[in-house]
Structure 1
Amino acid sequence: MTTNVEGRVLVIERVFNAPRDQVFKAFSEPERLESWWGPKGWQTENRKFDFKPEGVWHYCMRCTDENQGEFFGQESWGKFVYQEIIAPEKIVYTDVFADQEGNAVDGMPEMLITVDFVEHEGKTTLITRSQFASIEALQQVMDMGVVQGMASQFDRLDDLLKELQ
């Protein structure tokens, strides 16, 4: 996985040894998404999943790993609002930290995320571009461990893709 910061944008790339349509389905099918989303030791539950432009994905991640100390038992709610979907090439959505009702949490940054799925010789390069309102908002999420969380999450996605082949 490679990461790069371009102003207010965090770019993360990772190559998966799977065809693009399989990687896209991992983002677009609720059961698949639920099975890998979130860092290792966390379980995701879909509250709402409507994969279409203006559709909403509202979810909760819960730490189920007792070895994660103070994180064990914690919940983290999030909400996507899909802006653009071009299967199996691209997904654009806003991402906010949310509460159980799907309301944005005050003081937490909102991100505009573009995910590109680029296939080459049977492998897929996943490119995520997370745009923040300010460099400070980007730094806030970096300080929360977003890069480490994404690395762990992408390891889980890689495991799922291997199972499906």
Structure 2
Amino acid sequence: MPVTSVESDAEALTMTLIADFPVGPERLWAVFTDPRQLERFWGPPGWPATFASFDFEPGGRARYSMASPTGEIARGSWEFVAIDAPRGFEVVDSFVDEDGDPIDGMPAMRMTFAFDETERGSRLTNITYFDSLDALEQLTAMGAVEGATLAMNQLDAVLVGLREFAQGKGTRLEILDDQHVRITRLIDGPRELVWRAHTDPDLMRRWMLGPDGWRMSVSEVDVSVGGTYRIAWEPEEGTEGEPFGFDGETLLIDEPRRIVQTEHMTGTDYPSTTNDLSFYEEDGATLVTLLIEYPDAATRDAVLATGMVEGMEQSFERMERVVLG
């Protein structure tokens, strides 16, 4: 993970994040000054950012929003105070409303971004300056330390490019905390088709099968916010196993970038999870990212122990053969 430390200083009224990367400072500079690349990591997992404007000059402003899995929107604004290309820049970061006006009761913070060369690449030093101890404590209580760490730890994939980062590495699992895991898989195909493969019942029946010897017996999918779905599998003749399935509700859709759904094992009293599925295309390949929120660590571990990730890899391999091939 790139982030090496995040420290709050109550006397200096600062929060300092330090992260190291295996690329030069010019590459870091490029990522932080291009809104399309910023969108891939500025929001923490589950709260992806969208920059609506980016006027990168002293006195200019950038406006962004972040959407939660349930559709809750948090909005922010940067005012660019100073720019020293390619070594760093300084902004005033504010919470804003739909019109871009500061929200009463929410602090504005001065932030500096410094990009320095190291023996192995470069170092990001991000310092946030607060006006008061109350403001520092307020942001800390809102999860600023955890959110900043998770956000910056997404930078690896952005810096090196999708194919170098993920191609040939199969389905990868990252345990983010007790309740969250992130699963990624690079698919060699366009985003629109990968999106359809995940939302079209006819295509789903062709690849979303897990190990050989199983078939999808139910595929009822309403791809609309508030719509419900039900999918189920059963073993083919000669394959051992018991039929099972899942049902849930669609919470958010941003076609073809993101779909968020609840997932519950049909016919059981097991708790539901929230599955946040996103698609990012670069150079003809699509990175599929699934962020799963579990109710607790015990449920997380029980689900992962079923071999879920291995089954997903077999399904993704099948998608590449029968849907994209």
Q: Return the alpha-carbon distance in structure 1 between the equivalents of residues 92 and 160 of structure 2.
A: 29
- TM-score scaled by length of structure 2: 0.47
Q: Which runs of 4+ in 1 moved over 4 A?
A: none
Query: Of Structure 1 and Structure 2, which has the larger fraction of its residues in helix?
Result: 1
2:6 maps to 1:3: yes
Q: Return the alpha-carbon distance in structure 2 between the equivalents of residues 9 and 156 of structure 1.
A: 23
Please state whether the residue corresponding to 2:23 is helix, strand or coil: coil
Deviations 1:57-88 (A, max 9, x none): 10111124xxxxxxx21111000000001111
Calculate percent identity across the aligned residue pairs: 31
Q: Return the alpha-carbon distance in structure 1 between the equivalents of residues 157 and 150 of structure 2.
A: 11
* Structure 2 spans left out of the alignment, 5+ residues: 165-325
Contact 2:7 2:16 in 1 (8 A): yes
Partner of 1:42: 47
2:63 maps to 1:58: yes
Q: Return the alpha-carbon distance in structure 2 between the equivalents of residues 4 and 156 of structure 1.
A: 19
2:14 maps to 1:16: no
Q: Return the alpha-carbon distance in structure 1 between the equivalents of residues 41 and 82 of structure 2.
A: 22
Letter in 2 for 1:37: W
Alignment of 1:23-34 (within 5 A): 23-34=28-39
CA-based RMSD: 1.4
Bigger Cα Rg: 2
Partner of 1:69: none
**Structure with more contact order per residue of length (Cα contacts < 8 Å, sep ≥ 6):** 1
2:158 maps to 1:160: yes
Q: Return the alpha-carbon distance in structure 1 between the equivalents of residues 21 and 97 of structure 2.
A: 32
* More displaced 10-residue stretch of structure 1: 123-132 or 41-50: 41-50
Once the two structures are TM-superposed, the CA of residue 122 in structure 1 deviates from its matched residue by: 4.4
* Structure 1 spans left out of the alignment, 5+ residues: 65-71
Alignment of 1:1-150 (within 5 A): 1-6=4-9, 7=11, 8-64=13-69, 72-150=70-148
Deviations 1:22-72 (A, max 9, x none): 1111110121112221001222212211111111010111124xxxxxxx2
Please state whether the residue corresponding to 2:59 is helix, strand or coil: coil
Q: Return the alpha-carbon distance in structure 2 between the equivalents of residues 29 and 42 of structure 1.
A: 19
Contact 2:6 2:149 in 1 (8 A): no
- TM-score scaled by length of structure 1: 0.90
